[in-house]
Amino acid sequence: DVKVTQSSRYLVKRTGEKVFLECVQDMDHENMFWYRQDPGLGLRLIYFSYDVKMKEKGDIPEGYSVSREKKERFSLILESASTNQTSMYLCASSDGIGDHNSPLHFGNGTRLTVT
Amino acid sequence: RKEVEQDPGPFNVPEGATVAFNCTYSNSASQSFFWYRQDCRKEPKLLMSVYSSGNEDGRFTAQLNRASQYISLLIRDSKLSDSATYLCVVRRGSTLGRLYFGRGTQLTVWP
């Protein structure tokens, strides 16, 4: 069974802090993703990566950066946290091209509050 | 225009009812289609893929209409445990691995 693990379930940070959200998957998946989910807005893609050291901007990359130094680990970085980054953050991974044989597998999320 | 659009609901139905959700997608190059289910405060999980000829998995039936660019999910004999948010998800042919999510349709099944 695919396991995607996010390092924290709940996180509270102060405005201006640098925040690291970590995600690890154990199935040797090539693709990894960071989403945020907000009421009424659904899931929005922040960044994704198709391979080690590769990254692509999603729909809302502003204020975020990512790091993928190893295949199994994809980190999301909030350079200077702001209150509008309070959200649920979901990491996901998949193998292949995203067809019927390679759905997304999600971690159980990190609920980040920035005060 | 959003990539994937769904009626947010909520749909409130009694146990045993049949309920249907629709979803439209904007890009005709979309190639793969899915329904995900998300329980309250949990992560989304794949419910079923949607195939061109339509497919069934127990009480769940998914249909695809490429000409009209919409996808449907039918749930028969609703159970209390079906209460969740159902996300319509689409992959474009040109976007390796990347999926586009609808905002979800909320379903509550009451006893």
Q: What is the pLDDT of residues B46-58, one digit of tens each?
A: 999 999 889 999 9
For testing the chain A interface, which of B34, B43, B46, B86 should be mutated: the one with the most A CBs within 10 Å? B43
Give me the pLDDT at residue B39, please.
Answer: 96
Give me the pLDDT at residue B98, please.
Answer: 78
Give me the pLDDT at residue B91, please.
Answer: 87
- Residue B111: count of CB within 10 angstroms of its CB: 5
The contacts of residue B97 (CB under 8 Å, 6+ apart) are A30, A31, A48, A50, A94, A96, A97, A98, A102
Give me the pLDDT at residue A98, please.
Answer: 63
Contact assignment for B32 to A94 by CB distance below 8 Å: no
Find the DSSP H helices in chain B: none
CA–CA gap between residue A103 and residue A100 (Å, rounded): 6
CA–CA gap between residue B48 and residue B40 (Å, rounded): 19
Higher-confidence residue: B31 or B101?
A: B101
Enumerate residues 5 to 34 of chain A having a beta carbon within 8 A of any beta carbon in chain B: 30-31, 33
Nearest to residue B6, comparing CAs of B45, B29, B31, B33?
A: B33
The contacts of residue B57 (CB under 8 Å, 6+ apart) are B48
Contact assignment for A104 to B98 by CB distance below 8 Å: no
Of the candidates B95, B99, B103, which has its C-beta nearest A42's C-beta? B103
Of the candidates A33, A45, A100, which has its C-beta nearest B32's C-beta? A100
Beta strands in B1-111 (DSSP E): 4-6, 11-14, 19-25, 30-38, 45-50, 55-57, 60-65, 70-75, 84-92, 100-101, 105-110
Tell me the residue type at B59: R
Antiparallel, parallel or unpaired: β B11-14 and B105-110:
parallel
Longest dimension (CA), chain A: 41
User: Do the beta carbons of residue A47 and residue A55 sit within 8 Å?
Assistant: yes
Instruction: State the distance between the two ends of chain A, measured CA to CA, in whole angstroms.
Output: 37
* Cα distances (Å, whole numbers) of residue B83 to B17, B102, B106: 12, 18, 8
**pLDDT tens figures, B88-110:** 999 876 566 678 999 999 999 99
State the residue for tokens 């909320």.
B106
Give me the pLDDT at residue A61, please.
Answer: 97
Q: Which residues of A touch B45 (CB under 8 A)?
A: 106
Give me the pLDDT at residue B92, please.
Answer: 79
| Chain mean pLDDT for chain B | 92
**Which residues of B make CB contacts under 8 Å with A?**
8, 31-32, 34, 36, 42-46, 49, 51, 87, 89, 91, 95-99, 101-104
Give me the pLDDT at residue B89, please.
Answer: 94
